[in-house]
């Protein structure tokens, strides 16, 4: 059974849309026809641009409609997919380019506040320990940490339940970074922030 997130536009809805603002509708239709007519850019190229832009604006109706029009204008499936990848790169590129706005807001001297990677980091390997004793050892190692320091936990399974326990008992006062994620060995850097 197929489910649609966006309802299909019916002929009745399209007719009512036109009737509610006929002059504007006609002007928009003429504008659209002029924009997508062959010109300095061929109609196929314009439709490929429209497919890319529709993915950026995330309009499902535009994606479907302009994909059909691009195919009708002679676009190949690979051209459509490349146009979509251009849209994806532009969205990602915009986030990257605008990161300079955030960087400009960083306080003076922020570089010295960057966390330093410890030269030697203690490693707690609990793989040979009985399961009932592991949490006791891990929380003991955490309690012994100075603020800002870390140790690396080595385990034989994903210690996700342990993380939940940290969140329940030490919320906002610990860091958790996966260094290795199985299938035989999991290594997690656990740090103390307070």
Sorted by where each starts, the structural domains of the chain and their CATH numbers stand as 11-103 (1.20.1290.10), 122-192 (3.30.110.40)
Average pLDDT, the chain: 88
pLDDT in tens, 86-112: 999 998 988 888 888 888 888 877 666
**Residue percentage of the chain with pLDDT more than 90:** 45
Order of all β-strands in the sheet with 150-155 = 122-125, 150-155, 186-192, 174-181
Residue 113 pLDDT: 58
Q: Looking at the predicted structure, is the pLDDT value of residue 1 above 50? A: no
Query: What does residue 159 show for φ and ψ, rounded to 5 degrees?
Result: -85, 40
- In 11-169, DSSP assigns E strands to 122-125, 150-155
Residue 33 pLDDT: 95
**Residue percentage of the chain with pLDDT more than 70:** 92
Q: How far apart are CA 100 and CA 21, in angstroms?
A: 43
Pairing of strands 150-155, 122-125: parallel
């Amino acid at each position: 059974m197929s489910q649609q997130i966006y309802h299909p536009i019916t002929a009745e809805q399209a007719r009512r849309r036109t009737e509610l603002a006929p002059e504007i509708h006609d002007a928009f239709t003429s504008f659209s026809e002029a924009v997508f007519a062959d010109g300095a850019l061929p109609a196929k190229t314009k439709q490929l641009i429209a497919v890319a832009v529709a993915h950026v604006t995330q309009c499902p109706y535009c994606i479907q409609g302009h994909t059909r029009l691009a195919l009708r204008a002679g676009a190949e499936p690979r051209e459509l997919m490349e146009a979509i990848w251009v849209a994806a790169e532009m969205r990602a590129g915009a986030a990257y380019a605008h990161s300079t706005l955030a960087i400009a807001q960083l306080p003076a001297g922020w570089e010295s506040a960057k966390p330093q990677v410890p030269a030697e980091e203690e490693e707690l390997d609990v793989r040979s320990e009985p399961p009932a004793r592991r949490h006791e050892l891990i929380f003991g190692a955490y309690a012994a940490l100075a603020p800002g320091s870390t140790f690396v936990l080595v385990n034989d399974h994903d210690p996700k339940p342990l993380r939940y326990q940290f969140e329940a008992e030490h919320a906002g006062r610990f860091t958790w970074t996966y260094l290795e994620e199985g299938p035989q060995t999991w290594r997690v850097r656990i740090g103390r922030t307070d």
